[in-house]
A and B are shown apart, each in its own frame.
Chain A
Amino acid sequence: MTIFEAVHQHAPMLTVLVPMLSAPIIMLFGNRQAAFAIALTASTTSFLLSLQMLLLVAQGGVISYHIGGWAPPLGIEYRIDAANAFVLIIVSSISTVVLPYARRSIADEVAARHHTLFYACYMLCFTGLLGVTATGDAFNVFVFLEISSLSTYVLVALGAKQDRRALSAAYDYLILGTIGATFFVIGLGMLYMATGSLNMVHIAQVLAEGESNRTVRSAFTFIVVGMALKFAMYPLHRWLPGAYTYAPSAVSAFLAATATKVAIYVVLRFIFSVFGIAEEFERNTVQYIMMPLAVVAMFAGSLMATFSLNAKTLLAYSSISQIGYMLLGITLLNSTGLTAGMVHLFNHALTKGALFLAVGAIIYRTGSALVPHMAGLGRQMPWTSASIVIGGLSLIGAPATAGFVSKWVLMQAAFEAGMWPIAVFVVLSSVIAVVYVWRLVEVLYLQPAPEGRSVSEVPMTMLVPIWALALASIWFGIDADFTVQASRTAAEALLAGGFGGEDATIMGTRGRP
């Protein structure tokens, strides 16, 4: 077997394994430059591997990777279909774009002795997110989730050099995140009691054969609530504003673009592939509890963003509202709605990533994230400010930005489901987005810079990642063919239930049948 065949054969595993191994290697080297190089290499490798897998499953196929050659349901399986290949792309591409930016940014925001630690934690977090996404084993989800969460707490706490509130934010996050994870693990335990299996495909089969009972229902509830804490479903969002505000900018950008997305993916996977939406209980939970909460989130998040003093808090609350959009699409329970949810996962990752990076660039130069301190930056940092405008327009959902595509598909889904009030809620809440985005625009462009502050544009290594994401969010707003197509495939894969069924390309068996 040539090396290429081997890589191809083990791509699902390697995607996760490479960043995981890079973390201890980084610690062994203990050198800042080496750490950055290793992290970037590992992240890029993961990205390329995910891309290769997405191309394999883009037409609706499924890859089943048997770890160690042990066949599921006894062995642990990695299972890649269009849905999680898509999420893998989001996570790995954002990570690869953020890393070069992080190098400059953390030099400013994180104490020098913590730099290698930063890269190690970053890679662990990255590993966790990829693992959660790639695996087809329910307990594996928990383990990887905690790998990513624990390293996230550390990453958030690293912001303490800038502001000690990072510590209390990290602590709050730790408590709530752990409660979420524990709820999730309780749910898994119940699921195991009811089905005797941990393999998602197998659980789905067993559940589909048997009658629904109270154990399954409580398992569903625990899993949904636990994950809702992780992705900050309103009103379980309390940890999010603090964590995103006080974490180092690169971390905020990375987390905002990926962590909540992965948690939403997990909920999607469990609701659609494992439990299935055929049962009345599951349907009712989704439609009568999650949908109203999603609508409330859209408004509450936007309103809180409108009154935020700190630009990062503003973006964090905006994230809560945008998570509402994703959830809303999902809870419509039709193919277009799910497509809307998936496509917004991607589009919002680009947009919010760009915005957090841009605000980080402002902090890098001015040392403050408070909105009034950004007065006059439109002239002094024209490129950064312009990227904030682009990102802001995308949050609003102005045409020719990625956010427009999401809104378009979401409203289409609402009309298709015959729920026109939902469409009205969507547009009304995006009007509030106009208000908070325009607050930023006015400060940046229409207020004179304070006397004596002259700052210049950030260096290229920061500007290029910002603009890569900003331009991507324009590009995917004009040519949405790829994203919508991929999301639709993913949505159909999810709606079909049962995680792709029997016809999977089996990998990783080293030639064993």
Chain B
Amino acid sequence: MNRNPIDRRTFLQGAGAFAATLPFGRFAFAAEPAKPKELIVRVWGGEWKDAIDGGVSQSFAKATGIGIKYDETEDNELQPKLWAAVKQKRRPPVAVNWDTTTNATKSALKKMGEDLSDLPNLKGLLPVAQPLGFEGYPLVNVYSYVYVLAYRTDAFPQGAPKSWKVLLDPKFKGRIALYNDGIGFHPAAQVAGGGKVEDIPKNMKAAWDFIGKLKAQKPLLGEDPDFTNWFQKGEIDLACTIVTNARGAKKNGVKVAWTIPEEGAKVDTDALWIPKGLPANELYWAKQYVNYALSTEAQQGWCDGLGLPGVNPNINPPADMVGDPAYPTKPEDFKKLIRVPNRIQVENEKEWFGKFKSIMQG
């Protein structure tokens, strides 16, 4: 899966030029700082790991000679460990954390991350790359993804369902799935329930009513790997999930397709960030890794693997995603996507989570 291998010389030239543009600071070394033997990057497993490995890590390792090791601890589970390490000024367990923007924002609020403002490849990225509400870049968003309505094609011979309200169809009782914390579904539920996106987070009655009705449909609640699994095992017909999971199932031969219903769908981002407390040389090379991940070559390879639009505007969609509304490129694609600022999400997550749980566990 070694796509777009980059030439070692090109890379080093880039790095050299990068050092030369900065008159002072820790990058102003005549020679590079010592290379660590390896860098540890936290990733999600499965499709996700394959994508970053083929798109970013392998060519980075080839160019620099620094091995990339993966830590597949769930992002939620690694988070307290990272926080504890930074707080106690210990060396953090990973050098680069691939994280949801929501979780990365929490860490940024706690000032856990190194500032990445000086990465040369930030120039020319889409605006979505920059985190909102912070000075500089305590994290950098790397691609967008849409929470689509995925469906089994056998269950929809007439074509894609038009509305999220299809989830309420008694025919699909016990055969629908959502994320177990309700993530990604709130904006869609707000609109499908007759409310307005602008009322988030002040008035979300419409969303909660819709989710309440959904409870009677006995949904399955899970996490990324569960959706692929459930589609494969024939347990579900419909799911609100990140397009990558549906695409993964499809690649595995499951008859799955996805759509963005008329109410629209939530779009979100994932991020990379570097925890504080790394030795200087490791920090330097971790930043080089993140910088490289933002380059056109790396973004192309990585996002091809995920089937998601990267933050680098120069990349091309993978063949199977061309013209797919879940891979927005045209203005009308973007109109259907609902973005909730990560700060709002972080501040309200606990309450939303509690409400969702109280409905689903009742």
A binds B: no
Q: Which B residues lie at the A interface, using CB under 8 A?
A: none
